[in-house]
Amino acid sequence: MALNLSALGQKVGPLAKEYSWKDVVLYALGVGAGFSDLDYCYENKLKVIPSFSIAAIFDILAQIGLKSEVNLAGILHGEQELIFHNPIPPEGTLTTEGKIAHYYDKGQDKGALVIGESDTWHSNGQKLFTSICTIFSRLDGGFGGENAPRTTVTFPDRDPDYIVDEQPSEDQPLIYRLSGDIFSLHVDPQFAKASGFEKPIMHGLCTHGFACRVLIDKLIPGQPEKARRMVCRFTKTLYPGVPIQTQIWKTGDGQALWRTVNGETGDIVIDNGIFEYGEIPVMQIRFDDRVAIVTGAGAGLGRAYALELGRRGAKVVVNDLGGARDGSGEGSSSPADEVVAEIENLGGSAVANYDNVATAAGGENIVKSALDAFGRVDILINNAGILRDKSFVKMDPGNWQAVLDVHLNGAYHVTKPAFEIMKANGYGRIIMTTSAAGLYGNFGQTNYSAAKMGLVGLMNTLKLEGQKYDVKVNTIAPIAASRLTEDVLPPDFFDKLKPEFVVPMALYLCSEGCPVTGNIYNAGMGFYNRAAVFTGPGAVLTQDDAPPSVENIQKALKNVATVDGAREYFQLNEQVGDVLTAFTAPPPASSDAAKGFANAAAVFDAMAGAFDAGAAAGVDVVFQYNIAGDLGGDWSCTIKDGACTVAPGQHESPVCTLKMEAGDFLTMMNGTLPAMQAYTSGKLKIEGDIMKSQLIEKLFKF
Ligand code: NAI
């Protein structure tokens, strides 16, 4: 099997991984830490060995291998570079996104290199590290690609500054593998023998972890957070229990070279090691070459966003109609002009626009201003707003409509043309502005609350439509003193209520590194938190498929209403999945129900026989199955005119693509993993028209 050349440049992930202090300690124990490095092993003031990073993203490395379709029989971890941007917290969720960055061809019998690059963010919003991993694939050379550029590391012609001898235990891989790499080669004596080794071998990354610990101990003792970069090449295998020696040369300020040798034979097992260390360089978040539109930027929050965007290099379209607080009046060009002048005085670049967001033509024109002046649109902050407060009984249609027109329809009018451009460019950051009044309710603001909550709905779906194009859509619920709030916020707090306290949150959500989409943040006075919709676990109240009675609801309300164990959904399908799972009978306890498919091919052989033509009236769909792994393969299944055709390979235009690991697929098809559970747990990935996939259970009776 040759490398999948079309996977080059393809995105891998995002993959999320939750971890706790126990994972951190387990890793530390796996790379030889103990009482002599208690900071790595004791949850009280726990520090994380930076090389934990690569163990924690092992799944992404596996995905890179699978996507590139390397011949698994001949792969080795060739090289590894880690760039540390921020210290790794002892717990949280890591989100990793990567791509297959390069293929290099060393020649027909010499193999190929697959380079995977990824970035990992923590749930605290910080980018933690970048990994550049080289997979050496012995059996995939000769595809006609270019060879890798040569990299050489020249060690000083003198004794190392530090030599550290260590003794990994005979059982070291048994501990290390619990951090993610459970490949049989490191645990199964028979597998190891079949692969040409005397017995299971050490994980290269385990020895790498030993080295990382030693480098920190000698160069930045007690301060793992100062590790900045670690590079190496894995050159030889090592058996557990064999002593190792890490040799370190200091070569400059904050720089060292290192390698690890087999203490018995003197063979170099890890070579070309580079280690850089020092304080975290302060990286300013910049918006150079980005074009931002801020609506309602002539005053209040919008003005503050526009100024800071300009200060940080963005080219800004300052939109403001210049009307009254309630949206009445002729409007004026001066608020927008004044903010443009302020940005220019700061050395920035901006243009004014005086259009009304409440009309489609206004929205088009605002986006046109950006294109005319700067040629593109990268950032849109939907901020323009008015107020027309009245208790509901006094809320006449005019006041209702005017507020919806500016806030909700206004965001639609500007976002629509801006989104089209962002989609075409493959990049965009959009901010909606909601309000605590919408999220939680506020007397006298039914119109405003409805509009502000409508913006949340707009974000919820737009985030999905933008996901593929790196268009992230988030929402801010600000609190700041402005003419909108001058009569409702306590004057005592006015100093802290400056819009400048909201700006950092809004601008971070506009930044390139922003890791989130579909989030809502309250921001103001220096206090920031996330607001989210959570859904309770609920209860099934039907009996023999009959609807429950009203009295049943009364009786069960406690169970229906509870939010204990509530879940946050990213999209509708996840919620539907949970509803359907609630009805799914638990998997059979014994394997009696197993249908015994030994591989995916057997499933697809049986597929036409399992097809229920009676259920297929009017169905016209192509399902593509991509089942990864040795027992998998690609098949398409076309349902048309009441007939089912199963064909091996990739269909040109499937309606819906189902992707799964072969093991999970067989568990599902053998009846012990409900399809919905497979989907909601992420084992089954569905692309294309997800709703159509729900036909499968109806169409096939295995
Ligand atoms: P502001 O009144 O100081 O600024 C709003 C700006 O929008 C004004 O300059 C106004 O001329 C402009 N504008 C109004 N209608 C427009 C239209 N149709 N087209 C173009 N521009 C228009 O108000 P503030 O407080 O800065 O509000 C900004 C946003 O933040 C609004 O969406 C508001 O609802 C929201 N918000 C503000 C809160 C706060 O505490 N200030 C609380 C919650 C939400």
What are the structural domains, with CATH classification, of the chain? 10-146+157-277 (3.10.129.10), 291-531 (3.40.50.720), 535-564 (no CATH), 593-699 (3.30.1050.10)
Residue whose C-alpha is closest to residue 671's, from 582, 583, 602, 592: 592
Q: Is 482 in the pocket of ligand 1 (CB under 6 A)?
A: yes
Atom of ligand 1 nearest to the CA of 335: 9
Record the tokens describing residue 293, joined without a space.
């539109």
Alpha-helical runs (H) found in 355-501: 360-374, 397-404, 410-425, 436-440, 446-467
**What pLDDT is stored for residue 1 in this prediction?**
53
| C-alpha 84 – ligand 1 centre gap (Å) | 40
pLDDT band at 495 (very low <50, low <70, confident <90, very high): confident
pLDDT band at 210 (very low <50, low <70, confident <90, very high): very high
Look at 353 and 109; give whichever has higher pLDDT: 353
With a CB cutoff of 8 Å and minimum separation 6, the contacts of 629 are: 66, 661, 662, 663
Query: Residue 440 and residue 203: Cα distance in Å, rounded?
Result: 52
Record the tokens describing residue 22, joined without a space.
């126990």
Sign of CA dihedral 32, 37, 43, 47: negative
The model's pLDDT over 229-240, given as tens digits with 9 standing for 90+, comes to 999 999 999 999
Q: Is 485 in the pocket of ligand 1 (CB under 6 A)?
A: yes
**What pLDDT is stored for residue 582 in this prediction?**
84
Question: 586: cis peptide before it, omega within 30°?
Answer: no
| C-alpha 325 – ligand 1 centre gap (Å) | 8
**What pLDDT is stored for residue 585 in this prediction?**
56
Active site residues: 448
| C-alpha 517 – ligand 1 centre gap (Å) | 23
Is 590's pLDDT higher than 50? no
pLDDT band at 595 (very low <50, low <70, confident <90, very high): low
* Mutation choice for ligand 1 from 332, 442, 482, CB with most ligand atoms inside 8 A: 482
Q: Is 321 in the pocket of ligand 1 (CB under 6 A)?
A: yes
* Mutation choice for ligand 1 from 294, 301, 407, 498, CB with most ligand atoms inside 8 A: 301
To the nearest whole number, what is the mean pLDDT of the chain?
92
Q: What are phi and psi of 275, to 5 degrees?
A: -135, 125
* Mutation choice for ligand 1 from 318, 328, 365, 383, CB with most ligand atoms inside 8 A: 383
Looking at residue 292, its amino acid is A
**What pLDDT is stored for residue 675 in this prediction?**
81
